[in-house]
Amino acid sequence: MRLALLLLMITFVPMSLATAYSGAPPNGYAGDPPNNNNCTQCHSSFPVNSGDGTLMVITQSTYEPEAGYSVAVEVTDPDAQRWGFELIALDENNNSAGTLELLQPARTQLSGDYIKHTSAGTDPGQTGSDQWSFNWYAPEVGTGDVTFYVAANAADNNGSTSGDRIYTSTFVMTEFVDDVNDRSISMAPTEWQLANVYPNPFNGQVTIELNAASLANTTVSIYDILGRLVSTLHQGELSPGQYTLSWEPQGGAGVYFLRATNNQGWVQTQKIQYLK
């Protein structure tokens, strides 16, 4: 009887370790300094950022001190079927900046200065992409730039830590200060627009600045010269504001088309050229 119990314990422990973090990773694995750890410490089948997916923080590019902002984390991967993330916001001295607030308490949770998925927020069986939303309240005047560090797991849903793709990303929000009264100001754009796409041509990563004039479901995608979808940079709701996206091609050099649309009838397309 004691032998049988010992064998049961030996077979049970590895399974518990393999699924230990479906309810969220430990703090300190968002790719944030000083250690810059990410989820490849456990999900080690592939190097970080080696898959065909994308990871981005979606919010405004500037902040007004002590104001509140909607933030979303979006990860895509063509092969993934389960998802997770961890994020922290830090100031220029790597101290926690601002306050995070849950919008989806069933799907996200707070742990110290971090926000991350819950077990329900891993969405087993969901393919293509996933997204989590929350609020962030900016810090006091004079804090300066705030960097969001985020890591995400695009998992294959096999019940273990093998076969998963880990992505990391950073996003900087700039404190925009009025020189007259030393207070930050924030103005929503008056029209939908791909405001700036640079550099173009490019040979590494292209940056896309998008102005959203109203609350709308928005899609930003890349197509090749034959009209085939190459990558979806964003698909979901955007609040009024200015947003910055980026794209780093995985395929060959050539001409691509950036296309942005929303459910209010706005469509804008721009040609971009990748020089590999």
pLDDT digits (tens, 9 = 90+) for 5-57: 332 332 333 333 334 456 778 999 999 999 999 999 999 999 999 999 999 99
pLDDT digits (tens, 9 = 90+) for 121-176: 999 999 999 999 999 999 999 999 999 999 999 999 998 999 999 999 999 999 97
* Cα atoms found within 13 Å of the Cα of residue 211, Cβ hemisphere only: 12
Across residues 217-236, what is the average pLDDT?
92
Within 13 Å and on the Cβ side, how many CA atoms surround 158? 11
Confirm if 51 and 165 have CB atoms less than 8 A apart. yes
Q: What would the two tokens of residue 25 be?
A: 């990773």
Alpha-carbon gap, residue 54 to 57, rounded angstroms: 10
Report the predicted TM-score, pTM, of the whole model to 2 decimal places.
0.64
pLDDT in tens, 58-73: 988 889 898 889 899 9
Cβ pair 39, 46 in contact under 8 A:
no
In whole numbers, what is the pLDDT of the chain averaged over residues? 86
The stretch 267-273 carries a mean pLDDT of 93
Which residue ranges form the domains of the chain, and what is each CATH number? 24-175 (2.60.40.4060), 193-274 (2.60.40.1930)
Give the HSE-up count for residue 25: Cα atoms under 13 Å, Cβ half-sphere.
27
pLDDT value of residue 17:
37
Return the structure tokens found at 100: 């995070």
| pLDDT on residue 177 | 67
Identify the pLDDT of residue 187.
Answer: 59
Helix (H, G, I), strand (E, B) or coil at 252: coil
